[in-house]
Copies of this chain bind each other. A is one copy, B any other.
Amino acid sequence: MREVAVIGIGQVKVDESWDKSLRELAGDAALSALLDSGLQRVDTVYVGNMMSGSANHQQHLGAYIADWIGMRHAEAIRLEAACSSGSASFRTAVMAVASGQVQTALAVGVEKMTDSPGDEITAQLATAADADWEADQGLSFVALNALIMRRYMYEYGWGKEAFAPFAVNAHANAVHNPFARFHEPTSIEKYLKAGMIADPINLMDASAIGDGAAAAVVVPLDLVKSAGRRVIRVIGSAAATDTIAIDHRKDPLWLKAAYESGKQAYSQAGITPADIDLFELHDAFSIMATLSLEANGFAERGKGPQLALDGEITPTGKIPIATRGGLKARGHPVGATGMYQIVEVVQQLRGEAAGTQVEGARIGMSQNIGGSGSNIITHIFQTV
């Protein structure tokens, strides 16, 4: 398998984009990535998206986006893995280039959610849960995560305030990210006063939906090695699943798919968690950030909040997370999120993360979660 690298990244601001259509959002991110790469054309376009069929009455985003960005006739398909659709498109691009069938690939994640009323979006998000055993019983995604968080607090004895640092860190970092949805810092006091959504999850535990798109251009490493460009190597790429319904799991507090895909990615990269300089994890809810830190070897079981309380998740800490705001404050346009994470890791490794730059960052990891931990895709990147 040949080695693969990222040579271009692009993104648009996560927002309520009333003035931009689905294709314009994806196109703007894709063309930014192409411009950044210096390439005029790619062989293949992979589009990560979860819900355009229902939210925008538009499926078939491969052909739709490829034509819009001037790649008419290029191969193009859509990947869907709920909230991990974005990184599914990136992983497919990596494998296509690695296979040798394709020389250059563009991965773009896009989601336009704010055209639909909130209750419709909540129902559409619930299609990532098990229709028979979860969604049709009235469980929304917030409710599912509330069940997990409550259990976690009970098992390990944490109070609500222990989760505050996740929101505080995310919002502090987002202030410096022009592509983030929110630019207001928050505090422990504000966290504790935030309105409850599904007890114990309050507004500051939950990420916000939004419209957004992010993209990256993937090529064989040897093609660009001598081009003088700031190239970022993909040194790990792995994915694993778990049951779609949470109650089918032996242990609802252990992200087995995160552990499995993380383990594979570490092994491919030949590293351990201690080598990771920053980790863009999937903080759709603060409990998911907690469980991700534990499943990937950054904290012992039940100790995720301690890492946050100790300040180790900030850009100067031991394992910086949500360095550009994360899902919490950059925003979570679901099918685009995985690509935002990847773009942000690449920014950090290039030294382009103004305001929240992790000093001397050489190895970064992104991990994107679909469903309640049911599809988890991990990538590890390294400076050349």
Contacts and interface: CB of A to CB of B under 8 A. Distances in A.
Interface of A: 1, 21, 50-51, 53-54, 56-64, 66-67, 71-82, 88, 92, 95-96, 98-102, 123-124, 126-132, 135-136, 237-244, 248, 256-257, 260-261, 370-371, 374-375
Contacts of A82: 59-60, 63
Contacts of A244: 60, 63-64, 67
B80 A243 contact: no
Contact of A95 (B72, B101, B240, B260): B101
26 contacts: A1-B99, A51-B53, A57-B123, A60-B370, A63-B81, A63-B82, A63-B243, A63-B244, A63-B370, A66-B241, A67-B241, A72-B241, A73-B240, A73-B241, A73-B256, A74-B241, A75-B239, A76-B81, A77-B79, A77-B81, A77-B375, A78-B80, A80-B80, A92-B95, A95-B95, A95-B96
List the 3 closest A-B pairs by CB distance, nearest first: A99-B99, A1-B100, A75-B239
A375 B98 contact: no
Contacts of A80: 59-62, 77-80
Contacts of A126: 57
A32 B105 CA distance: 34
Copies in the complex: 2
- Give the secondary structure class of A's interface: mixed
A70 B99 CA distance: 28
A374 B96 CA distance: 21
Contacts of A64: 130, 244
Interface centre among A57, A71, A135, A256 (most CB of B within 10 A): A57
Given A53-B51, A67-B248, A62 B243 contact: no
Given A127-B59, A128-B59, A78 B81 contact: yes
Contacts of A261: 75
A100 B101 contact: no
